[in-house]
Chain A
Amino acid sequence: MKMNYSEERIRKFNGIDESKLHEFVVEFRKYKTELNRKFLEREGWEPIDVSKVRSFIPGTITKIYVEEMQHVEEGAPLMILEAMKMKNTVFAERAGTILKINAKEGERVPKSMVIFEFDLD
């Protein structure tokens, strides 16, 4: 009798494939184990660098209010980032001098791109 796929599958002996094992530390002990796709693709955490202003959403920069080497106060408008048909004005969260602007008016930018680099006061 031909065993169908599921019948065969639910009785399979699995065992361990040594070649797939990695070291993995939990509470100071090193375990040998396989890693899965989601774990390998997880995003590492970095502290937020407040001297860099990033695009919070992908969109088009329709207006830039400031220039390089200009000093701006906290709360000053920096640009309009248009996304999902909304004109979002982005403001300076800290006072400081703008060292570099990495985009031009009319440019389409991805998410999390550094647009303004500050030398904070």
Chain B
Amino acid sequence: MASSKKVRELQKRREEIQLGGGEKAIQKQVAMGKMTARERIIELLDNGSFNEYDLFVEHDARDFGMEQKKLHGDGVVTGTGTVGGKPVCIFAQDFTVAGGSLGSMHARKITKIMDHSLKMRMPLIGINDSGGARIQEGVNSLAGYGEIFFRNTLASGVIPQISVILGPCAGGAVYSPALTDFVFVVDNISKMFITGPEVIKTVLGEDISMEELGGARVHSEMTGNAHFFAESEAECFEQIKMLLSYIPWSNSAERVQKEVVEPRKEFNINRIVPADKRMPYDVRDVIRSVSDDSAFLEVQENWAANIVIGFGRINGKTVGYVANQPKVLAGVLDVDSSDKSARFIRYCDAFNIPIVTLVDLPGYLPGVDQEHAGVIRHGAKVLYAYSEATVPKITVILRKAYGGGYIAMNSRHLRADFVFAWPDAEVAVMGPEGAANIIFRKEIATAEDPDKVRKEKVDEYIEKFANPYVAAAKGFIDSVIEPKETRNVLKHALEVSGNKEIGMPKKKHGIPPF
């Protein structure tokens, strides 16, 4: 048995180190509206489940007077615990210790817990709050970042990796979150950028605040770097727990079977989608009307909102939804929405989550800016991701499925397992107005009343092609269903896809249009 003297010494050491950068630094942290690293971990993990490692690690810097300085825990807290009773690995940078700066031992603590999470096949949660590289440690600090990025990449698609930005995360440091699966940001607290406002001002003369350059809103609305936006740290932790309730623990873990709760009554699927194809609706209402308990956890809600992605459950098990959103930009595909959906499809495929695709789009967003921003290259990502995915893939065409958009949205031709369509669906090479203008160009141009003839020809086209039966006659659509049958049809399709097995040609890896 340890002598009581030794036990007291251990307690004293622990207490001292657990105070991080000391009372004064903690007060500063609190004044910024932030929790301390340990408080964050305790708030996020199940009560009393946190076990900390490497508490006694010390830095090994010997230059610029660093040998005189003691940095508690070297500015990062690492350990394991549970969320919802299941194990996770976690690290949290401690801004109160030398600004959470990353030195070689700090990095080594992080890579050690990363190695552990990969080896033990459990999610890794990283809380970032750091001023960046510890300049006094020079290239050792850069080496640390490189080791982290490498492990992020190795673990990608094997275990879920979650990044939580609760402070500055600047320069090279941003690339670890960017390599992980989900990035969480909090309003007024998260800041991410490669070069900060000061450098931008000096070099380019452009004056911009940190918030406008790389705040939480910018990354949620403009860049798509962030997947979840919260008003407070407490809300952010709720979101993380919510996400963890949906995703499998690793690429070899089964989806959890939850209790099946029928959708709520206020989601009446017959009333959501207007028959007039030009009128919008919120496709999330359709998703909720077919999901268990009408629950849908949306990912990247505010970025490229013309496509909706996220998780729900059907028959108690998680599915990934990809849905055109007629409410925003009429649901067109464009650079950002292609990027957003393609990555999500690959996430679902990597973690064996079946994909349910809801289709209603007029086509691609027209514009010079889109063409010059590479809508060809980005749009190709959607084709690639769907074609490559081997998880069960089920499509429901709600209304419009025209041209390239029809093909891209998990069509039969990209090996969808099931394609259903509602009676109002229009599957055609292009919209009626566009098609009539091309096919009947001469008749319209030479007519006495061009508008009248145009309208007749549009109606003729609608009569002939704007329905699901032409595609169904070819077997491109498996079944035309009533909206109210959708949930049961999806349930059944998922049930019979449970043992799906398909082969892919042997290759090292494909070359997706990154």
Known: A5-B235, A26-B431, A45-B369. A11 touches B294 (CB 8 A): yes
Contacting A10 at CB < 8 Å: which of B204, B266, B297, B368?
B297
B503 at the interface (CB under 8 A from A): no
Residue ranges of A at the interface with B (Cβ–Cβ < 8 Å): 4-7, 10-11, 13-16, 21, 24, 26-39, 42-43, 45, 57-59, 83-84, 108, 110-111
Q: Report how many A-B pairs have Cβ atoms within 8 Å.
A: 114
Smallest beta-carbon distance B466→chain A, Å: 12
Asked if residues B221 and A38 are in contact (CB atoms below 8 Å), the reply is yes
Main secondary structure of the interface of A (DSSP, over half): loop
Q: In the complex, which residues 196-254 of chain B have their Cβ closer than 8 Å to any Cβ of chain A?
A: 203-206, 221-222, 235, 238-239, 242
Residue ranges of B at the interface with A (Cβ–Cβ < 8 Å): 203-206, 221-222, 235, 238-239, 242, 264, 266-267, 277-282, 284-285, 288, 293-298, 304-306, 326-332, 336, 362-363, 365-369, 372, 402, 430-434, 437
Task: For the A-B complex with A10-B295, A27-B434 known, give 12 more contacts whose Cβ atoms are closer than 8 Å.
Answer: A5-B235, A6-B238, A13-B288, A14-B285, A26-B332, A28-B437, A30-B278, A32-B280, A34-B329, A42-B369, A43-B369, A83-B203
Bound-state CA distance A83–B284 (Å) is 49
In the complex, 24 of the A-B residue pairs with CB atoms within 8 angstroms, ordered by the A residue number, are A11-B294, A15-B281, A15-B282, A15-B285, A24-B330, A26-B365, A27-B363, A27-B431, A27-B434, A31-B280, A32-B278, A32-B280, A33-B330, A33-B331, A34-B328, A36-B305, A43-B369, A45-B368, A58-B204, A59-B205, A83-B203, A83-B204, A84-B203, A111-B204
Bound-state CA distance A37–B266 (Å) is 30
Smallest beta-carbon distance B453→chain A, Å: 15
Bound-state CA distance A7–B293 (Å) is 11
Known: A24-B329, A31-B330, A83-B203. A13 touches B285 (CB 8 A): yes
Q: Which residues of B contact A28 (CB under 8 A)?
A: 431, 433-434, 437
Bound-state CA distance A33–B294 (Å) is 24
Q: Which residues of A contact B297 (CB under 8 A)?
A: 6, 10
Bound-state CA distance A38–B328 (Å) is 12
Asked if residues B282 and A26 are in contact (CB atoms below 8 Å), the reply is no
Looking at A14, A59, A111, the one whose CB has the most chain B CB atoms below 10 A away is A14
Q: Which residues of A contact B281 (CB under 8 A)?
A: 15-16
Q: Which residues of A contact B330 (CB under 8 A)?
A: 24, 26, 31, 33
Known: A13-B267, A58-B206, A110-B205. A6 touches B431 (CB 8 A): no
B437: nearest chain-A partner, CB-CB: A28
Asked if residues B280 and A21 are in contact (CB atoms below 8 Å), the reply is yes
| A-B CB proximity, top 8 nearest | A27-B434, A28-B433, A31-B330, A45-B368, A14-B282, A26-B362, A33-B330, A58-B205
